[in-house]
Each structure stands twice: as structure tokens, then as C-alpha cells.
Structure 1
Amino acid sequence: MFSYRHAFHAGNHADVFKHVALVAILRHLTQKETALWVIDTHAGAGLYRLDGDHAGTSGEAGHGIFKLAETLGTHDTIDGQPLAPAIADYLEHVRAFNRKGEMRVYPGSPFLAQRLLRTETRDKLKLFELHPSDSKALAGHVAQLDAGRQVTMDRADGFEALKALLPPPSRRALVLMDPSYEIKSDYGKVVAALKDSLHRFATGTYAVWYPIIPRPEAHDLPRRLKTLANQAHKPWLNASLAIGQDDQPPTPGEVHRPGLLASGLFVINPPHTLKPALQEALPQLLHVLGRGRGKGQVLEAGG
């Protein structure tokens, strides 16, 4: 049950896509003066070494953050076009965790979120992680922030813990759900948790990351989320990025081919700025990270 470690996948194409969107969402939600709660149900370790054993073994960051950073270099254009603001904003926050010119540390969702939260409005960050090793690492990383009561974490099932937090006192929250989906029941738990959350707090913003893989549960999840949002009469946005299958043979010394080729993000009650932000960012991400057969991007909205 506890075999999944995000450290092997940190900074891959799915992280880049998810975190570009996350930063764009938070950039909008923090414009309003009322306090914002950010709840991450599956926070992972929070910070990851890209030059460590885990990331080095998988090499997935090479198809993600490394490729994006190397393609841009000191330039601010992609394919002759100005860099999408959402990508530029994301890169600025990632680089803030690294020395100039280096890319050794990758911030997960908790640390990207914390950088965007405000102290004067008493924004809060609530983190949950059940994996014993990752929760221990997360606790240590959170302690280094010295953020006081702004950031709290618990070793707990985020799906269950969410129930006690909704609605938040300020009536404003972003809930991020991105379990590993290592076990099939995670797909059903996402839908059940969202249904319960919308009942408790209908106006919250909910972002669900999901893998696009040849598994029936994965194929059905976006459809089930659309049905749930439509039944609740809530607006939604669904975006996906597929980097495609690389036709080139492995380079000497390459350990293995990255297994995940595509992922999606489903957002209920998305900020009105998210769709135009992704309309600019997705084609540029695809241009840089796409590599072969099956690459593509989808952006659809409803409600």
C-alpha cells in the first residue's frame, strides 16, 4: 500500500503541467482580500532533490523541468512566441528554490502554494500525507519553513481529514487532490470525496490531478467528474497534456523509459482566468515537452 514514492517522479512532465495550473489558480485566488485556505490531501514529501538517488534513478525530470529550463535558457520565448505568463510565473517560483543557474531542488505542490500565500490575510495551508517516509520528510521540510500557524501537516488520510475542514471559516478554499492512484480504489475515493465536499462547501475550488493510462478506472474518471459537476450545477474545466511516445532508442546509460505519457487536471469552480491562461500555456508546454506519437493537449470547459 505504501510503495509509491513521488521522489522518483518529481519534476516530470505531469508535475510541470499540474504546477503551472496550480500557480495560475492561486495567483487569481490570492487577489481577493479574504483569507484563503489551501488543502492538499496528498502532499508527498513537499521538496525533492533532483540530483538525488530517487530522481536520478528514474530520469523523469529530464522529460519535464530540465527540458523546459534548458529549452528556455536565458530566453523568454518558445517557438518564437513570448513565454506564456503562467509558465513564466511557475518557473520563477521553481527557480526560487535553487541557486542561480542550477536546478537541483524541485518544490512540490505544498511549497509552491506556500510561496503564494499571504500572511496579512491569514491564509492557511493544510497538508496531509499518509506514507510513513514521506510524511516524516514533509514534517521536516515544513519545520524549516518556520511559517508558524500558516502551515500545518498531519500524517492522515487526506480524503477523510478533508471532511472536518469544510467549509473553512473564511468560506474560501482551494482543495488539491492528487493521490498516486496506485490502488484502483483511489479513483472511487476521489469521486466520493468530491461529492461529499461539494455538499459541505459548494463554492470551493477543487482541483483533481489524474493519470491518463490504459486502465478502465482512469478512463472513466474525467467522465464521472463531469457528471458530478454538472449534477451540482457547477462550472468545470478539464485539461490534459500528452507528451507522446518517444520513437528514438534509449540513449547509452538511460535506465528506463518513463512510463506515464499523459495526465489531466479537472477543476470544479475554476477561476475565470484559468482557461485563457492554459490556452496560452498548453501549446507551449506541448511544443517543448512533446516528443512523438500520441502527443497532444486538450482543454474543455462546461457548466
Structure 2
Amino acid sequence: MLSYRHAFHAGNFADVLKHSVLTLVLDYMTRKEKGFSYIDSHSGAGMYQLTDSYAQKTGEYKEGIARLLAADTRQATPAPLQPYLELIENLNRDSAQGELSLYPGSPGIAKAILRRQDSAHLFELHPTDIGYLNDFCQRWRKAHIKQSDGYQGVLSLLPPPSRRGVVLIDPPYELKEDYPKAVKTIIKACDKFTTGTYMLWYPVVKRALVTEMEETFSASGVKNILQVEFSQRPDTEEYGMTGTGLFIVNPPWQLKDQLAEILPYLKTRLNKEEYTASYRLKQLVEE
């Protein structure tokens, strides 16, 4: 199945969580001079136009990134959230009257942060998005793009030559099988490259599927797993994503404290009036 298009959802509350964490992780990796590899299993288009028909049809970004960039909120923004928001603002600096018109996918976040000594390995299967991704990365000399299965792609590149790496796995979860498959890919990856930092994004659509992921990780033998989750509304049996989360293996040492600052702010700013937003942050598996 290749019907999923992230252009409908770019900049929504799930992207806010995922990309603010990715920004912090990549920023941490650049603090050492030695280069590292960034590996992205489901890269999408790289950059999204919030003014196009896809984003305008759903308007999801208006309840996500647009709320955080509103003028009346910026002074109260927690320090750990600032690098992500500044990155988005810089991308839109040349737009008319500072209008929010561009939103980066995970390759866009990486392109803004990675240095000459760092490399990016981007996988995407969708026949339309791979074209956009190639165009986006045209002048990015250290980006390597493949139209192939991202799960196998991740495993084929480990361990990276530098022995420093960040892996992001964020499938569309069009199939239920993606939930266990994504977890098993991380477990296999850790067997090949124990010291890498791994980020696995997930949507909260059916709570039982997330619980199964937690249980599989807990029984896997993989150490040092941080779990963060943010929900705009309570779990429900009805159709639709109520929340979003990340499992992070080998997180930067200060990431948990940074998220402890970010999450209460997101709860306040991204709360939907008819619901009560919530979050959780826990060390799922100790070091």
C-alpha cells in the first residue's frame, strides 16, 4: 500500500513532537567534531508547502506548528523547544509577511543541522514523493537517496563507518503489521550497532497496538529506552489518531529533562478546547 501522503499532515501536533525531539538529538550529535550518519527509513518528500491543497484540506498544521509560532506564545517558549521553532522560522524568513508556508519533513530538519562531515541516507518508496525528495536533496552532496524498503535499508547500513549514527523509523502504519515490524527492525539494528541512537515514531490509534510495542521492547534485551507520548485527546475506539509518541534507544543524556520542560508547554498550547491534552514520559527500559 502506498496511498499515504504526509502532505496532508505536515506540521500537525505529531510532527511537532517528532521533529522537536529529532532537532535535539541531531543537535547533540553535532557537539562532537567527528561525523555521523543519519538514516531515515521513511523520508517522505523532504519539504512541504502548507499553502497547497493537501495541507489546506486538513488544516492540521493550524493546530500544531502554527499555534507554537503565534506571536503571543514565543516569549514563553521553553528553551529546549527554541531550536526547532527557530529552524521553522528560518525556513519561512523569505515568505510574504513572514507567512508560515513551508514545513520540513525529517530530511528537511536533518539538512538544516547536518555538517559537511555528516551523511544522510534517505529511503522512500512512494513514486511521487521520491521525486520530490530527489529534487529537495539535489544540492545536498552528502545525501544518499534510495527508492527501496526502508526497514531493510536501515539494517544494510549498520554499523556506519564512523560508528556514530542516528536512525529514525517512522512508517505510515497503513498496515497493522508495521507496528511489530518497526519494533523488530530496531531490535535487529541494536544487535548490529549497539551504541546507535534510534528513534521510533508511532501514532496512538489503538492503544493495544502501542502496548504490544512496549511489551516487545521490554522483553527484547535492548537497554536504555526512553518513551515519550503526547495526546491531544483521550484514547477512543473511534477512528483517528488521538496521540503520538516516540521510543528512543540510547537518547542523549539530557533529553529526558528537556522533554520534561517541553511537554507541559505542549499540553497548554496544543490543547483542543473540547478535550484535555495529556502526556507521559518514562524510562521504559533502564540502561
Change (3 A) 1:32 1:141: same
**Residues in 2 aligned to 1:180 and 1:226: alpha-carbon distance in whole angstroms:** 23
The residue number in structure 1 matching 2:100 is 103
The residue number in structure 2 matching 1:91 is 85
Equivalent runs, 1:67-82 vs 2, <5 Å: 67-70=67-70, 72=72, 75-77=74-76
Give 4+ residue runs of structure 1 displaced > 6 Å after superposition: none
How far has the Cα of 1:190 moved from its partner? 0.6
Change (3 A) 1:71 1:216: farther
The residue number in structure 2 matching 1:255 is none
Q: Secondary structure at the match of 1:3?
A: coil
How far has the Cα of 1:157 moved from its partner? 0.6
The residue number in structure 2 matching 1:124 is 119
Contact 1:42–1:179 (CA<8 Å) still a contact in 2? yes
The residue number in structure 2 matching 1:293 is 275
**Residues in 2 aligned to 1:192 and 1:265: alpha-carbon distance in whole angstroms:** 15
Equivalent runs, 1:173-212 vs 2, <5 Å: 173-212=165-204
Change (3 A) 1:207 1:285: same
The residue number in structure 2 matching 1:275 is 256
**Residues in 2 aligned to 1:297 and 1:90: alpha-carbon distance in whole angstroms:** 19
**Residues in 2 aligned to 1:227 and 1:210: alpha-carbon distance in whole angstroms:** 19
| Structure 2 letter corresponding to 1:262 | G
Whether 1:227 and 2:208 are equivalent positions in the alignment is no
Contact 1:212–1:264 (CA<8 Å) still a contact in 2? yes
| Structure 1 letter corresponding to 2:103 | Y
TM-score if structure 2 supplies the norm length?
Answer: 0.92
Equivalent runs, 1:12-161 vs 2, <5 Å: 12-70=12-70, 72=72, 75-77=74-76, 83-99=77-93, 101-119=98-116, 122-143=117-138, 146-148=139-141, 150-161=142-153
TM-score if structure 1 supplies the norm length?
Answer: 0.87
How far has the Cα of 1:29 moved from its partner? 1.3
**Residues in 1 aligned to 2:163 and 2:8: alpha-carbon distance in whole angstroms:** 36
| Structure 2 letter corresponding to 1:147 | W
Q: Secondary structure at the match of 1:192?
A: helix
String of CA shifts for 1:23-55, please: whole Å, max 9, x gaps.
Answer: 111111111122111000000111001010100
The residue number in structure 2 matching 1:80 is none
String of CA shifts for 1:166-217, please: whole Å, max 9, x gaps.
Answer: 0000000000000000111111211221121011101100000000112633
How far has the Cα of 1:71 moved from its partner? 5.6
**Residues in 1 aligned to 2:195 and 2:269: alpha-carbon distance in whole angstroms:** 35
How many pairs are equivalent?
A: 277
String of CA shifts for 1:247-272, please: whole Å, max 9, x gaps.
Answer: xxxxxxxxxxx932200011001110
**Residues in 1 aligned to 2:215 and 2:31: alpha-carbon distance in whole angstroms:** 31
| Structure 1 letter corresponding to 2:264 | P
The residue number in structure 2 matching 1:253 is none
**Residues in 2 aligned to 1:152 and 1:215: alpha-carbon distance in whole angstroms:** 36
Change (3 A) 1:33 1:274: same
**Residues in 2 aligned to 1:241 and 1:67: alpha-carbon distance in whole angstroms:** 16
| Structure 1 letter corresponding to 2:122 | L
String of CA shifts for 1:61-107, please: whole Å, max 9, x gaps.
Answer: 1110111112645x411xxxxx2122111011111111362210001
**Residues in 2 aligned to 1:115 and 1:227: alpha-carbon distance in whole angstroms:** 37
CA RMSD of aligned residues (A): 1.6
Q: What 5-or-longer segments of structure 2 have no aligned partner?
A: none
Q: What 5-or-longer segments of structure 1 have no aligned partner?
A: 78-82, 246-257
**Residues in 1 aligned to 2:58 and 2:9: alpha-carbon distance in whole angstroms:** 7
